[in-house]
Amino acid sequence: MRIILALLALVAATAGAQEPGKKETTTFRLETELTVTSEPPQVVDAQCAADYEASYHQRNTVARVESTIRVQSCTVASGEFTVILRIKGEDGEIKVIELDETWARTDDMDVSLVADYPIGENVELVSARVRGRRCTCADAP
């Protein structure tokens, strides 16, 4: 709106200077300056993609679970997962043991974890699985 008013005032000022009957061309150049301020989005607790690989074996009364966690989307990361152990007792009954675990890293190296979980005497380790995996990036991807 201010631009239109300024143009009208300029036209009126130059119109009085013209000689009668003489056409005069006036060229106006409009310049627009637009300033946009924006902040980059902060990446805090951004979800990341992690690949989990796990192997397991029984060592008498414990289950040894070895895990490798690979994260390629960020350097500083942490996460959590649940180890689910299925064991069979002498009576043939299957029992499930769930254990929550956490991990963290501050470099770009894979995370290697080794954990021994007590499973009791006279039982057979049927399987060990990693479930409920979650990974969080602390740096920008």
pLDDT in tens, 75-133: 999 999 999 999 999 999 999 999 999 999 999 899 999 999 999 999 999 999 999 98
What is the number of domains present in the chain?
1
Residue 123 phi/psi, 5° resolution? Answer: -130, 160
Residue 126 CB contacts under 8 Å (≥ 6 apart), including other chains? 86, 87, 88, 94
In a domain, 40, yes or no: no
Q: Can you give the residue range of the structural domain that contains 83?
A: 46-137
In a domain, 24, yes or no: no
In a domain, 28, yes or no: no
Helices (H), the chain: 2-15
In a domain, 122, yes or no: yes
CATH number of the domain to which 79 belongs? 2.60.40
C-alpha span between 37 and 43 (Å, rounded)? 19
In a domain, 29, yes or no: no
In a domain, 67, yes or no: yes
In a domain, 5, yes or no: no
pTM: 0.62
